[in-house]
Amino acid sequence: MARFMDKRGVTQVDWAISLAIFLLFLVWIFFFTKPLFDSTSNLDSLADIVEKHFKETVTIEIEKIPLIVHSNWTYENEPFLIDYSYDPDITNYFLAVNKSIQIKDNKMVFQQDISNTTTIINLIHSTDLSFPQYKLANDLTSNERWASVTNFIAYFDNSTLDTISYRGPTKIFKHQIFIDDVLQTNHSGSYTNTSQYAKYVYSNQALNFTMYIFTENPGISGEIKLNQVIPGLNKTMKIYLELVNYTDYYMDRVEKGEVDYFFETCEEADDRNFIDLYDDVLGGVAVTVDTASKTKICGEPKRANLTFTFQLHNSTRYRLMFHDGNYENGTKYKDFNEPVIGAIQSYKGIDVEKMNNLTLEDYVSLREGWNFPLSNNFQIEVWNSTSKIFAYEPVEQTTQTNIYTKQFYSYILDSDINLRKVKVFVRVW
């Protein structure tokens, strides 16, 4: 019995020693192997931190918004009025060199040359950049009472159009608006001036009638918007003008002829939206609305009167454009050039200015701002296909040999949406 007990005691001692050796082995693995694994894993995570903050600091996004215009005519500095409520900051937009853009009251306004086929106007937008705004040299002068461009001047009374002169003589003596044959007189008026246009707004409880005079455009671009739903059905609006110095009229190939001043007769046509009154020597005026209208032209001993009558809509476009020559020079204003917004394309890349500004940042402060451990360091390099174009690193060069390197591809992106591929190296230790 004693021998058996002694043998069992020896076995328990051996087992305890073996267990102790095994535990020491595990401790050895833990202290000598795990740090090597953690070091690589930790540096990889630190490289991810640098990559993330570098991208956030230097990356910009640019949108290209194509505005597609189909036209049968060629125009210079054609005005465009687009309902727009996305981003009102005009410094975030770029149209073209020496082209101006305005965004006010949920309306984007600009001018552009248009060809007689299809014109694609690429509007550039970015909230990450500030684009130059061109203050154009132009022929527009205006105040609350009048606005003029070359050969054209329009007079207003509390933002109501009064008279218009073209190349000297007065052409329009009266301009009135009616709703259901009731002359609209009780209203307020406002005037706005930019480097591109003068804007006059006639406003009452029922509607806003906005008129723009654009630089290098001898005429008026207008828009009528309802302020409320007017009670009753079949409400109509009538625009009435009195004009002089025009001998003929043209609506289309059928509806055309002389203005009868002698017998004081009238000509009427339904479902028309355009008429051009002209004199071969003194020029003409094209009058257009963007809805089917009853058009009536009457001669009087000294003046002609023109009436457009149409159904009220939430929004109606209106235009008066003066021109030289006969109706052939006015028919180009028969249609409104309404741009169609195409598919918006988005681009992301590195902005060179933002990247170079990093070199002005204090390394210690930037490291702290990026939540990068003070016990570690990093370096960033950007290379094109042939050379290094950017570097950011500590002032003191490292002698550390355990350096972890991460690389990824990106693109340099400029405001003209030119993309250049680059390789970015992130080194941490």
Parallel/antiparallel/unpaired status of strands 345-350 and 152-157: unpaired
Strand partners, 219: 321
Asked if residue 367 belongs to a domain, the reply is yes
Pairing of strands 160-166, 59-70: unpaired
pLDDT in tens, 334-384: 999 999 999 999 999 999 999 999 999 999 999 999 999 999 999 999 999
Question: Does residue 411 share a domain with residue 317?
Answer: no
Residue pair 99/112 in contact (Cβ under 8 Å)? The answer is yes
Domain termination residue (choose one: 288, 309, 335): 335
Domain-embedded: residue 149: yes
Tokens of 293: 């209208």
Q: What is the dihedral of CA 226, 229, 231, 235, to 10 degrees?
A: 40
Tell me: pLDDT of 3 over 70.
no
pLDDT tens track for 228-255: 665 555 678 999 999 999 999 999 999 9
Amino acid, single-letter form, for residue 251:
M
> Do 392 and 359 touch, CB atoms closer than 8 A?
yes
pLDDT-based confidence at 35, cuts 50/70/90? very low
If asked whether residues 207 and 279 sit together in one domain, one would say: yes
Domain residue limits at 262: 135-335
Same domain, 282 and 387: no
CA distance 38 to 200: 71
**Number of separate domains in the chain:** 2
Which pair of structure tokens corresponds to residue 244? Answer: 């002089």
395 within domain boundaries: yes
Q: How far apart are CA 427 and CA 429, in angstroms?
A: 7
- Tell me the C-alpha distance between 256 and 334, whole Å: 15
Q: Whose structure tokens read 């307020």?
A: 188
pTM above 0.85, yes or no: no
The dihedral of CA 265, 269, 275, 278: what is its sign?
negative
